[in-house]
Structure 1
Amino acid sequence: MKYKLVHKTKYKYAQAVNNYHSLLCLTPRNLPNQSCSNFSIQISPEPSQIVERTDFYGNKTHYFSLHAPHKELTVLTTSIVERSEANTGTLFMPSDITCSAARHRLVSDRSLKIALLEYMLPSPLVKWDEEIVAFGRDCFVDGVPLYECVRNLCRKIYTEFDFVPDFTTVHTPIKEVLAARKGVCQDFSHLAIACIRSFGFATRYVSGYLETLPPPGRPKLQGSDASHAWISVFIPDCGWCDFDPTNNVVPGERHIVTAWGRDYSDVPPLKGIIFSYGKHTLTVEVDVIPV
């Protein structure tokens, strides 16, 4: 499936901003089952330069700064991405390796453990305690395949939690999400990562897009698609396998990968510093358009 991705972010400031520095992480990754053939950025006011770089995790980022007073900022990115369902099927083939065997492999293979360690330890937004461990304990049984255990955890989150937009922010602790039993894709991904890491397995946070389908007979509304988040778990003998706890599915051709890291703090779409005061408003519109 081929898509045109349009991501528009607009800030309005109560008081003029004199200086602004921003880092964008919005370029879709090139993967065995995904290729990005075109990516463009339009910024208003126009910066003097946009600097491209690749971060520690292999994500492509863009830095820009503004040094003239402005009360509005618009960042528009457009991409052409092709996803291959056939390749996705091979990447997400289930593995029979059990939890105990997978854990032993991660502990006994020193080079593998060193390569994956950052995805096994607590990170800025993913920490756990006994309550979080208890939530995931019934999903992880030593003699059961690790792949099946992760699917069980995703199913549990999907079943027991409600998707409630605007209930949380990027700073809401996982413990609050667990107590309230509601949140958004970012929260459910962080909870799943915390549970899986707590049992000794490597898990990373995946940021991207999901094409949404309108009700039968209804046209898709402009801007109705959304940024999305899911997880990827390293399963020995199989590699990195993606899971979407928000929708209880294995990501397919409608899931488009932008970036990955330890948690959301590594891969926010826009991360900026402003030199001003007063309130501001933020609007984000996303379109995932089949080509």
Structure 2
Amino acid sequence: MVRLSIRHETLYTYERPVRFAPHRLLVRPRDSHATRVVEAHLTVSPPGQTRWLYDALGNSVCCFTPDGESRVLSIVSDLTIERFPASLTRRDVADPQTVTPIFYSAGDRAVLAPFIDPVSEDRDGRLLNWLRDQIGSPREPALEFLLRLNRAIRADFDYSTRDIGTAQEPGQTVATGSGACRDFAWLMVEALRRLGYAARFVTGYLYSPKTAASGVRGAGATHAWCEVFLPELGWTEFDPTNALAESPDLIPVAVTRTPAEAAPVSGAIYGDGGKSELAVHVLVRPAEMISAAA
């Protein structure tokens, strides 16, 4: 078990005061057998009404409506969590599936259907042509193929940070050969859906105590990766930005069908605020460091 402290700060600033419409916050990790939320504190300014609910996918959502007018909207989430990760290499699969066709039982397929159908278009065929180049022997075990695809995206694409905007289309990522973590996650999700896999987009946090030395990409902000459903293994995590699979360093907050649904903070303002700026900072560190400092 690993206990971690997470601080997620989001700050919007405007030239002129504005009023705020209801906002949707995805900042609380998903409680599961692998993650337990020990403490959670949400600090907002300006203050307002908050209401918590679970959405259709079981994500913990905070509905927040700031009061009055302000030139600043500040949202700070402080968390203490415990992680109980399970290693992918220790799982025993009695009947491993091959790459294609991937087979789901009728019961599973009824639930997985929304995550099997592709969402993005590929009019020029760039995504499909790239995907064809990744496929090897049809007898290759599905898990081995997924791990290989995960590594290929990490090795073949250039990483760049981008704080604002949703994920770019997978075909654009292939064409430019570069992207942010959400672009690589969405590329892998939509590529696998075209092979009949159930895949979903995941947003959350990345714990990386030695970012510079280890070459880990995506720490210091919210992170994105994908989950793929495999028979006998269930939902399995793959982070193509760092070629990680079922890593204890991945802390999921929300799972969605598309990247647009996974924004940590979404909402609108009333009025002309003029020039606006967004600053996001995420710090994940061992909880013992907090206790020692105190």
Question: Which bin holds the TM-score, normalised by the shorter protein?
Answer: 0.7 to 0.9
User: Normalising by structure 2, what TM-score?
Assistant: 0.87
Q: Which residue of 1 aligns with 2:75?
A: 75
List gaps (5 residues or longer) in structure 2: 214-218, 288-294
Distance 1:281 1:167 in 2: 11
Q: Is the 8 A contact 1:22 1:272 kept in 2?
A: yes
Q: Offset of 1:254 from its aligned partner?
A: 1.4
1:220 counterpart residue number: none
Deviations 1:154-212 (A, max 9, x none): 11111110111139831532222211101111000001111100111100111111112
Alpha-carbon deviations, 1:199-237, whole Å to 9, x = none? 1110011111111233689xxxxxx62211111111112
Q: Using the alignment, how far apart are the partners of 2:222 and 2:92 within structure 1?
A: 26
> Structure 1: any 5+ residue segments left out of the alignment?
218-223
Distance 2:139 2:226 in 1: 23
2:284 aligns with one of 267, 283, 288: 288
Q: Residues of 2 paired with 1:167 and 1:254: CA distance?
A: 21
Does structure 2 conserve the Cα–Cα contact (< 8 Å) formed by 1:128 and 1:194?
Answer: no
* Equivalence for 1:264: 259
Contact 2:236 2:246 in 1 (8 A): no
1:65-104 deviations in whole A, cap 9, x for unaligned? Answer: 124111011000011111123x3448866773212352xx
What residue number does 1:221 align with? Answer: none
Whole-Å separation in 2 of the counterparts to 1:202 and 1:287: 31
Listed as ranges, the matches of 1:55-134 within 5 Å are 55-85=55-85, 87-89=86-88, 96-100=96-100, 102=102, 105-106=103-104, 109-123=105-119, 126-128=120-122, 130-134=125-129
Change (3 A) 1:206 1:178: same
Q: Which residue of 1 aligns with 2:222?
A: 227
- Asked if the contact 1:5–1:79 (Cα under 8 Å) also holds between the matched residues in 2, the reply is yes
State the distance in 2 between where 1:27 and 1:227 align. 12
2:270 counterpart residue number: 275
Q: Is the 8 A contact 1:12 1:71 kept in 2?
A: yes
Identity within the alignment, %: 26
CA gap 1:281/1:93 in 2 versus in 1, 3 angstroms: farther
- Tell me, yes or no, if structure 1 residue 144 matches structure 2 residue 140: yes
Alignment of 1:190-229 (within 5 A): 190-214=186-210, 225-229=220-224
**C-alpha contact 2:167 2:186 (8 A) present in aligned 1:** no
Identify the residue that residue 158 of structure 1 maps to in structure 2.
154
Given residue 250 of structure 1, which amino acid in structure 2 is its aligned partner?
A: A
**Residue 133 (structure 1) shift:** 1.6
RMSD: 2.2
2:4 match: 3
How far apart are the structure 1 equivalents of 2:82 and 2:185?
A: 24
What TM-score does the superposition give when structure 1 sets the normalisation length?
A: 0.88
